């Protein structure tokens, strides 16, 4: 089975800090995704990548950037964390005809 | 993007079948119908998908209308562990920019 691993389950960061959320998948999938999930707003797509060094904006990219230097790793970067970025962050990957596989999520709190 | 419509919530008794409906009247010919579910405090997990024919797997069955404008996810015998939010999603796997856009889904409550 595909495994998607997010480096941290819980994180607490201070306002203004640079934050890195790491995601690694082990099935050689081309496509990787970052979502955030907030109560009442559901899952929203931040960024996605369909190949190494490629990235595409999702619905809410403001305040975020991403890095895909290796196929298996997709990093989400908060350049200067703010309290409105407190959320659950979910990473996913997929092959062409496969379903998406999600990680367990990182619950980020910005104080 | 083609959209889906699902009821906000549903309730079912334990050990009874559950039929979760989804409408997708603007589905295109290359869209597959996917279902995911999200258990509390977890990321979404894939349940089942289909194109035209009904599909069965160990988790559920998917019944697709002949005109493909609606589908139904069937849990044959609900357990308390099936309490989750269920998402019906359309995907075109040959689209390079294919990405899941989640709606609100259906929150399924299972009564013991």
Q: Is the alpha carbon torsion for A81, A85, A88, A89 positive or negative?
A: negative
Q: Which pLDDT score, from 0 to 100, does residue B34 have?
A: 93
Instruction: Please name which of B68, B94, B81, B98 lies closest in space to residue B4, comparing C-alpha atoms.
Output: B68
pLDDT of the residue at B4? 93
CA of A91, closest CA in chain B: separation in Å? 9
* DSSP symbol at B17: -
Q: What percent of chain A has pLDDT over 70?
A: 95
As a whole number, the mean pLDDT across chain B is 91
Rounded to an integer, what distance in angstroms lies between the CA atom of residue B78 and that of residue B69? 26
Residue B112 token pair: 């013991």
Question: How far A99 CA lies from chain B's nearest CA (Å)?
Answer: 6
* Total count of residues recorded for chain A: 111
Residue B82 in 3-state DSSP? helix
Q: What is the mean pLDDT of residues B13-30?
A: 94
**Which chain B residue has its CA at the smallest distance from A55's CA?**
B97
Residue of B43, B49, B98 lying closest to A104 (CB–CB): B43
Q: What is the mean pLDDT of chain A?
A: 92
Tens of pLDDT along A35-48?
Answer: 999 988 888 999 99
Which of the residue ranges A28-42, A65-79, A97-111, B96-110 would you say has the lowest mean pLDDT? B96-110
What is the reported pLDDT for B2?
Answer: 57
Give the residue with greater pLDDT, B97 vs B18. B18
């Amino acid at each position: 089975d595909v495994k998607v691993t997010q480096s941290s389950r819980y994180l607490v960061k201070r306002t203004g800090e640079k934050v890195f959320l790491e995601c690694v998948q082990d099935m050689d999938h081309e496509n990787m995704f970052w979502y955030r999930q907030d109560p009442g707003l559901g899952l929203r797509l931040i960024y996605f990548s369909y190949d190494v060094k490629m990235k595409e904006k999702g619905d809410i990219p403001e305040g975020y950037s991403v890095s895909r230097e290796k196929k298996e790793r997709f990093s989400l970067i908060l350049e200067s964390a703010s309290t409105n970025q407190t959320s659950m962050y979910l990473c996913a990957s997929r092959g062409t005809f496969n379903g998406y596989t999600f990680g367990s999520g990182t619950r980020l709190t910005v104080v | 993007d083609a959209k889906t419509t699902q009821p906000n919530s549903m309730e079912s008794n334990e050990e009874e079948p559950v039929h979760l409906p989804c409408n997708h009247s603007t589905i295109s010919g290359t869209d597959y119908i996917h279902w995911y579910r999200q258990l509390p405090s977890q990321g979404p997990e894939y349940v089942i998908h289909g194109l035209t024919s009904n599909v069965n797997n160990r988790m559920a069955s998917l019944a697709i209308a002949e005109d493909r404008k609606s589908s139904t996810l069937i849990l044959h015998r609900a357990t308390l562990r099936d309490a989750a939010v269920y998402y019906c999603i359309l995907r075109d796997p040959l689209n390079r920019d294919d990405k899941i856009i989640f709606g609100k889904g259906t929150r399924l409550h299972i009564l013991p």
